[in-house]
Amino acid sequence: MLKIKEIRIEDLKEGIVTDNPTPAFSYMLESDGQGVTVQQSQIKVFLQENLVWDSGVHVEGETLNIRYAGQPLLPFTAYRVYVWVKDSKDDIAEGEAIFETGRLGEKWNADWITDSGYYFFVFSPKPMVFRKTFQLAGNIKNIKLYSTALGVYSLELNGKRVERDYFSPGYTSYHEQMQYQTYDVTDLLEKENTLIATVAGGWAVGDYSMMHTNKIYANRQALLMEIRMTYVDGTVQVIGTDSSWEVSNKGNWRYADFYNGEIYDARIDIHQIPYKQADVIQPKHRPKLIANYGSPVRRQEKLVPVKQWKCQSGGTIYDFGQNFAGIISAKIKGTSGQKITFKHAEICMNGDLYTKPLRWAKARVVYTCKEGLQEYTPRFTYMGFRYVRVEGIAEDNLELSAYALYSDMETTGDFTCSNEDINRLQKNIAWSGKSNFVDIPTDCPQRDERMGWTGDIAVFASTACFNFRMKRFLDKWLLDVVAEQGENGGIPDVVPPGKYGKPRTTACWADACVMVPWASYLAYGDKELLARQYDSMKKHIQGALILANKGSGGEAPERYIWRAGFHYGDWCAPGENKKQWKEKAPWVATAFLANSCGLMSKIAHELGHETDAAYYRELTDAISDAYMKVHTDGNGKLHQEFQTGYVLPLYFGIGTEEEASRMANRLAGLVEKADHHLETGFCGTPYLLFALSDYGHLDKAYKLLLQDTCPSWLYEVKAGATTVWERWDAVRPDGTVNQSNNMVSFNHYAYGAVGDWLYRRVAGIEMIKPAYREFKIQPMPGGNLTWAKARLQTSYGEIASAWHITDRFFIEVKVPVNTSCRLILPDGTERMLGSGEYSFSCEWK
């Protein structure tokens, strides 16, 4: 029986409000049969009962990323989508979904408002409170709020919180584009209504970046909103922000920002504070305002303390058992004026919080009680923490829990095996991803940074797309990559940059503008993303080629060796310092340039730009040839040997088959010389195990994976890590913290890119065509593992691979509808599988 499991519009299953005039439709099918494919399909879109688009009946139709091509969509309108599918067994399935349009560019019937008399100088501003009272003029059908802010905002209607989201409108390149949100508040209506909007400084106005810069996009907070009321008789009343609204900075939130936390006074009655007339302003930037197109930050898992104890410095330490990004939630029995302080940290030393890695971030919230029972959860900050020290309240009067906060991405993948340390590593990878996907892809969630570092997401994007549905998250961030790109093709090291860093062409970090769109395309099959980013990719590569040619005399092969400009090199390689990391730039940068050119050739081909595809293929060959001629002796040996110097050409396909074999042997020798420890940094680590396993050294790959002394992944696990660290020796074997260069984070996802090898080699799930329309399952058992299994929820459905070994090798496989799988068993047996569930076995030696 065929069934439509889900319909996605703009990659959302519900709550869809879009300003895209050509939204994309996708749907997922299920069937209890085998070898099921789509034979015919059709999509219709209706406005009430009127047909506005009919895709027509498509033979062997695609089920993903089908673009609307009907009558122009109207703003503020609900549409119904009908999907009809017939499969290869003549079974038929039907389904429906609803989406709404947002403003679609319609002019706002509202002004930006603020308190123009409010000034602040250092750190972050006091939150502003805006108030509007209104009455209904008849029988209401619905009421919706359309809102955005300079700062981050939260709304209450008649004393009840409106939104589930945190930190709206989200962080974008505010000078180019901003999101607005849509909230249906019909169920919160009363005859007399009071709307309260509290706006904190957030990214736009507050203290942000390692430079501790404020007022990056505006000198003070501002609010833009329409209250749009639709009555039963069809009339529409709009109340927009203007000078009739009231504003105050005397609200409950006395202070709020991401680094220093919140100060909240529960004694304050929001209706009794002094208000003044709001001021209408014109912001200094005129960004395009677009209906929410990212993944909003929301409250996710609830955590409770696993233990607690009194500490010598005073107060009680609560251990949540997991490092994460989020907020505390406190149920309090208090007295009026009682002040409670919650201080956060990732680790404890000698029984107390160890906060030195936080640098200047205070990471605390201070709550002043009203009388009696009360609850408090921060709204305008978040912390990276496992431990909380509470002062100012007896333990019996406090019930403390916490919530993880991260962008609302579905968990799509999982991996487990017979080794519990590896299973803990997988959990660490997932938690580090969650902790650093807080509206933008950050480097860390705890210290005074939390910035959108491009290099981290460049190497982690593939692993992220296995674990989570990243499409909207990455699509949003990549718009900002384009917005921030310099004329010479450079990309800031962090995006959006605020006032930290200017565009520059830096290997791996700037290569994110090619690597991240490609990872998203492979995961979700949306060519429109590639087309949107295409010119940006070309500009980056052209800028990199100019730098590579600089000072070379213009002659090959030197003209393709990228030395010029700033590079991080093999950042954070163990046992070395910053100078040594950067000195590896000619190897790292040249290899990444070859990789980006190779990806560009594939992207150009996918988009039908065959002249470009040929050009980038020739560049890839020329750069690869230069790497081998300049950096090796001609027989696959580097003049200056180091692990990453071999890893990158092996993974990126640089060199002939014979040269690759020799390089892999040299790499295996270096690994053995290091007593099976890795010596790679951010740029080499993601590909290290592939470089070994794919060139005949699977045993070395497993020994590296299972190594549990420093530096190694399992060293962190053995040390009690519940997330991935920034440095291999963040906690040294002697128990001290590595604070060198004032940079140590216990929640950095870059080294978690090893997950890609677990999924693609241990479980064996390897994509052949984008979105897994075709894929391969070829497990590579080793390391004394007796079983492993992985699942991946793709856009077509669930892929599963589960194998175990006794006297034979057994595997169970699941293939989604309308896809095909090439299964390769360890004995070399191959089978082509259509959709369905299968079990096979073979001899095992």
Whether residue 496 is preceded by a cis peptide bond, meaning omega within 30 degrees of 0, is yes
Does residue 27 contact residue 34 with C-beta atoms inside 8 Å?
Answer: no
Q: Which amino acid is at 42?
A: Q
CA angle 621, 622, 623 (to 5 degrees): 95
Phi-psi label, residue 90: left if phi above 0, alpha if psi -120 to 50, beta otherwise:
left
Say how many C-beta atoms besides its own lie within 10 A of residue 830's C-beta: 10
Tell me the β-bridge partners of 265.
Answer: 368
163 labelled catalytic: no
C-alpha distances in Å from residue 843, one per residue of 800, 801, 809: 21, 18, 6
Give the separation between CA 829 and CA 370, rounded to whole angstroms: 71
Residue 147 contacts by C-beta under 8 Å, 6 or more apart in sequence? 153, 155, 168, 169, 180, 181, 183, 197, 223, 224, 225, 226
Residue 618 contacts by C-beta under 8 Å, 6 or more apart in sequence? none
Give the separation between CA 33 and CA 179, rounded to whole angstroms: 43
Does residue 319 contact residue 390 with C-beta atoms inside 8 Å?
Answer: no
What are the phi and psi torsion angles at 633 (to 5°)?
A: -85, 10
Residue 794: exposure state from Cβ atoms within 10 A (0-12, 13-18, ≥19): buried
Burial of 301-311, coded b for 16+ CB within 10 Å and e otherwise, reads eebebeeeeeb
Helix/strand/coil percentages in the chain, nearest 5: 25, 35, 40
Set 262, 576, 679, 726: catalytic member: 726
698-706 helix and 685-693 helix, angle to the nearest 10 degrees: 140
Does residue 544 contact residue 595 with C-beta atoms inside 8 Å?
Answer: no
375 labelled catalytic: no
Say how many C-beta atoms besides its own lie within 10 A of residue 496's C-beta: 24
Tell me the β-bridge partners of 401.
Answer: 329
- Show the beta-strand stretches assigned E in 685-807: 765-767, 774-777, 787-793, 798-805
Residue 535 contacts by C-beta under 8 Å, 6 or more apart in sequence? none
Residue 288: exposure state from Cβ atoms within 10 A (0-12, 13-18, ≥19): exposed
Query: For the chain, what's the residue count?
Result: 845
Residue 606 contacts by C-beta under 8 Å, 6 or more apart in sequence? 521, 527, 530
CA neighbours closer than 13 Å in the CB half-sphere of residue 391 = 14
| Strand 140-150 with 222-231, pairing | antiparallel
| Strand 364-368 with 261-265, pairing | parallel
- Structure token pair of residue 779: 């497990």
Whether residue 21 is preceded by a cis peptide bond, meaning omega within 30 degrees of 0, is no
| Among 476, 542, 530, CA closest to 176 | 476
Q: For the chain, first and last CA: distance in Å?
A: 40
Set 163, 226, 346, 449: catalytic member: 449
Give the separation between CA 248 and CA 151, rounded to whole angstroms: 15
Burial of 721-745, coded b for 16+ CB within 10 Å and e otherwise, reads bbbbbbbbbbbeeeeebbeeeebbb
Does residue 704 contact residue 689 with C-beta atoms inside 8 Å?
Answer: yes
Does residue 732 contact residue 755 with C-beta atoms inside 8 Å?
Answer: no
Report, as residue numbers or ranges, the catalytic residues.
449, 726
